[in-house]
């Protein structure tokens, strides 16, 4: 008896037979479809749509301590940054550790371990790298042995107290965001006689010139003649927030000292002094993994402040 012929599975089309396979017409032999010469490894090169590997070039530069993200983007637009030998002028590019990045022809070093310093900013200094009006900046006051650092937020010209410095642009951005939820405390001397009723709008949250301010933690510490000392806590950092709020309720700020930023305290740090936070504390407070031995902590004592600036707020 003759056996029936064996049934065969229908033939599957070859992957190479589809209209989307293979390099585009005119592509160079050996080139990947869609790839461009000099394309960084972190950029998409014929891969399915999605998040490309690596990090944005501006973030990488900030992480390496070259500049803040905003400054890095300006450097890119100026044509000062090259990736794998090709100058780029747009920041919309991802790179990985396999890519060679240079700034002004100099290779960008691998990012250092994240570091944070506490700095007691004196009044009279601008929190910027360069002031258009030629006023002295905090960078004129910092120890020369410090690496390149960025300030976390700002203190205005006439404000003093705790300013955090970091070598890591990612940490700078993270700590500046209100979503971090860290309370920033200030000792504030005002001209006037504030009462609880006068301070109530600050505790509830006010709107000034169409800008909403989150509720503040406000404590009246003591009245001293025509002036009063307050302790104020904020969870955001709008420009001149405390001064504007006080003006709105009829008070004038004549001294403002930041005494803490989240878990970091000004403590007994003298004006102009800088102290590095221990690496383990940085790791614990920021949720970072791994902590290497702490580097030397550069400190410098500044000259005594001019007369009239030596007064320190008394506490109850």
Pair 184, 260: CB distance under 8 Å: yes
Pair 273, 300: CB distance under 8 Å: yes
Pair 309, 121: CB distance under 8 Å: no
| Identified catalytic residue from 97, 104, 140, 156 | 156
Bridge partners (DSSP) of residue 258 are 161, 186
Token pair belonging to 183:
């309370």
Distance CA 172, CA 166 (A): 7
Distance CA 285, CA 300 (A): 25
Which pairing describes strands 252-261 and 160-166: parallel, antiparallel, or unpaired? Answer: parallel
Pair 102, 92: CB distance under 8 Å: no
Q: Which residue's entry shows tokens 């060679």?
A: 100
Q: Which residue's entry shows tokens 């090169």?
A: 45
Sequence-ordered list of residues with C-beta below 8 angstroms from that of 15, at least 6 positions apart, any chain: 21
* 156 part of the active site: yes
Nearest to 214 by CA among 224, 225, 206: 206
Pair 126, 163: CB distance under 8 Å: no
Helix (H, G, I), strand (E, B) or coil at 15: helix
> Which amino acids are annotated catalytic?
156
């Amino acid at each position: 008896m003759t056996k029936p012929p064996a049934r065969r599975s229908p033939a599957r089309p070859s992957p190479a037979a589809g209209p989307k396979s293979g390099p585009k017409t005119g592509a160079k032999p050996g080139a990947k479809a869609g790839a461009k010469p000099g394309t960084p490894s972190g950029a998409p090169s014929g891969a399915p749509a999605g998040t490309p590997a690596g990090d944005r070039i501006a973030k990488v530069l900030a992480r390496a301590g070259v500049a803040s993200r905003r400054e890095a983007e300006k450097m890119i637009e100026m044509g000062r940054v090259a990736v794998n030998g090709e100058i780029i002028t747009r920041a919309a590019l991802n790179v990985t550790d396999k890519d060679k990045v240079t700034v002004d022809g100099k290779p960008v070093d691998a990012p250092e371990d994240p570091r944070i310093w506490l700095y007691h900013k004196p009044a009279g200094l601008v929190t910027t790298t360069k002031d258009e009006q030629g006023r002295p900046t905090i960078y004129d006051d910092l120890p020369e042995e410090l690496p390149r650092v960025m300030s976390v937020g700002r203190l205005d010209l006439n404000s003093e107290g705790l300013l955090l410095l970091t070598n890591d642009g990612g940490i700078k951005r993270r700590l500046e965001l209100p979503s971090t939820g860290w309370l920033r405390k200030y000792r504030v001397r005002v001209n006037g006689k504030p009462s609880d009723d006068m301070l109530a709008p600050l505790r509830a949250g006010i709107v000034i010139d169409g800008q909403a301010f989150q509720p503040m933690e406000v404590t009246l510490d003591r009245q001293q003649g025509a002036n009063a000392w307050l302790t104020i806590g904020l969870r955001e950092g709008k420009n001149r927030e405390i001064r504007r709020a006080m003006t709105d309720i009829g008070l004038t700020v004549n001294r403002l000292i930041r005494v803490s930023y989240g878990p970091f305290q000004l403590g007994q740090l003298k004006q102009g002094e800088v102290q590095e936070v221990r690496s383990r504390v940085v790791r614990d407070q920021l949720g970072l993994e791994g902590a290497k031995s702490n580097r030397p902590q550069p400190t410098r004592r500044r000259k005594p402040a001019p007369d009239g600036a030596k007064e320190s707020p008394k506490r109850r």
